[in-house]
A and B are shown apart, each in its own frame.
Chain A
Amino acid sequence: MALILLFPATKEMVVVLPGADGHVGMVVVERGDERFILDEPYASTRLTSDGQVKLEKLEEQEVAASIERSTEPRSPFERAAAVLPGFQGAVAALPARPASFYLYFITGTDTLTDASKLEFERMLEELRKREAPDIVVIGHTDRVGAPEGNDELSLQRAERMKADLVAQGIAPPERIRAAGRGEREPVVPTEDGVDEPLNRRVEINVR
């Protein structure tokens, strides 16, 4: 409210936030011959109805105050939306960030290890938060057996995960792509014939 009273005639506003990884990016605002570089957390430009552009850094204390009142950890977007009028709707509508999951298999099979079965359940919880996920499943193998057989096994692992995701109602088949990469992309490079558990895996990318 205080902000509305302080700046009654804001026509346009841009605010740069710290990224999810803590890294602050940069937005260059150009208006005619004027150029404003926003490269600090909460750096902002504000165009007012008198045609002036103000470059300012929003009080971090003000933004920080909104976190103290909340018991839940909040993102920079949510913190900013809590103190700046007019951003709550956009912030609430941000899609879930793209994410990757890794699951591991019992040697020579498309059956998940016990640890990965638990991880699969955790992954389902994450995926259920997304209304319209797009999923890519990429299967891999270790270097036991012939490369051709491993191509087949890697695809079989990916297809099995796809079938399980469909069966769980996460997404329809046309929204899940499955591919096999055989033994070509090991996480841990090994000699041929080595039974490396970290290489027997699927990578599941969702957005």
Chain B
Amino acid sequence: MRWILAVAAAAFGMAAYAQDVGQIKTTKGAVHVERGGQRIAAAPGMNVRASDKLVTGADGAVGVTFLDNTMVSAGPSTVFEIERYQFNSTTHDGEFDASLKKGSLAVVSGKMVKQTPGSMRVRTPSSVMGVRGTEFLVRVD
């Protein structure tokens, strides 16, 4: 029984770990993460997951490093949603879909885009950006 519990705990632990796709590295002012209807105050060291929405206040900013070393930072009054993120650290294959509803982003693409140009896509209200590398800025007013 103890053994079964240990295995279940290990499996659960791994599943929870597998959901994490990146980590918040910097924050300034008001920043929160919307996850499953909850608002969680963001701080450096907090992990982010696919389907998280990052929201910054009028004085806010946040920077995230993802598993494949993609870096995304958001300026004030920004709503950025991670729609899908998958990365295989052995093959470097992956898919990254995100959307910028409003605000501003600075992006440095990572290993996934290096392996497969176009595997990162950022949607804005009007357009879709296919990222073939490497550094760019986006703003939605």
Chain A residues engaging chain B, CB cutoff 8 angstroms: 10-20, 23, 25-31, 38, 45, 47, 76-77, 80-81, 84, 86-98, 130-132, 134, 175, 207
Contacts and interface: CB of A to CB of B under 8 A. Distances in A.
B69 A90 contact: no
Nearest to B118: A28
A131 B26 contact: yes
A16 to B, nearest CB: 5
Nearest to B120: A27
B28 A17 contact: no
B65 A25 contact: no
Contacts of A38: 136
A13 B104 CA distance: 9
A45 B28 CA distance: 28
Given A86-B139, A90-B137, 18 more contacts: A10-B141, A13-B137, A14-B137, A16-B135, A25-B131, A26-B132, A27-B136, A31-B126, A90-B61, A90-B75, A90-B103, A91-B75, A93-B75, A95-B71, A131-B25, A131-B26, A131-B44, A207-B69
Interface residues of B, number: 48
B108 interface: yes
Main secondary structure of the interface of B (DSSP, over half): strand
Contacts of B130: 27-28, 30
B75 A88 contact: yes
B45 A131 contact: yes
Main secondary structure of the interface of A (DSSP, over half): mixed
Contacts of A26: 117, 132-133
Contact of A12 (B27, B132, B140): B140
A84 B138 CA distance: 11
Interface of B: 23-28, 44-45, 60-65, 69, 71, 73-76, 78, 103-106, 108-109, 113, 117-118, 124-141
A87 B141 contact: no
21 contacts: A11-B140, A12-B125, A12-B141, A14-B136, A14-B137, A15-B138, A19-B135, A23-B134, A27-B132, A30-B129, A84-B137, A88-B75, A89-B75, A90-B104, A90-B106, A90-B137, A92-B28, A93-B75, A131-B26, A131-B44, A132-B25
A207 B111 CA distance: 14
A27 B131 contact: yes
B23 A132 contact: yes
B129 A28 contact: yes
A11 B126 contact: yes
Contact of B137 (A10, A15, A130): A15
